Amino acid sequence: MLPIEIMGHFTKPFALTVRLFANMVGGHVIILSLIGMIFMFRALWVAPIAIGFILFIDFLEVLVAFLQAYVFVLLSILFVNSAIHPEH
């Protein structure tokens, strides 16, 4: 049981880091894909549509960033609290 407990102390912060990184990079990849569509289609009518979607994704990214920051802080507090005050 002890090796699993020790491994848990290392995997929890790593899992939080990977989760936060994936959520931050996901929106940027979508935005770059939409910008790439403008150049791929080489048509003027694609640009306003793509820019509209880009603005929408930017809004979602800001919303997700605040939500992820909240979840990250909440889980960090729980993990640190469980490390400092072990259960009986």
Residue-wise pLDDT tens digits, 27-58: 899 999 999 999 999 888 989 999 999 999 99
Q: Evaluate whether residue 6 is within a structural domain.
A: no
Angle at 36 (CA atoms; ends 33, 38), nearest 5 degrees: 120
Residue 31 maps to a domain: yes
3 in a domain, yes or no? Answer: no
| Domain total in the chain | 1
Structural domain boundaries, residue 19: 14-83
Is residue 4 one of the residues assigned to a domain? no
Is residue 18 within 8 A of residue 26, CB to CB? The reply is no
Q: What is the pLDDT of residue 53?
A: 94
Report yes or no on 2 lying in a domain.
Answer: no
pLDDT in tens, 77-86: 988 888 887 7
What is the model's pLDDT at position 50? 93
Q: Please check whether residue 8 lies inside any domain of the structure.
A: no
For the whole model, what pTM was predicted? 0.63
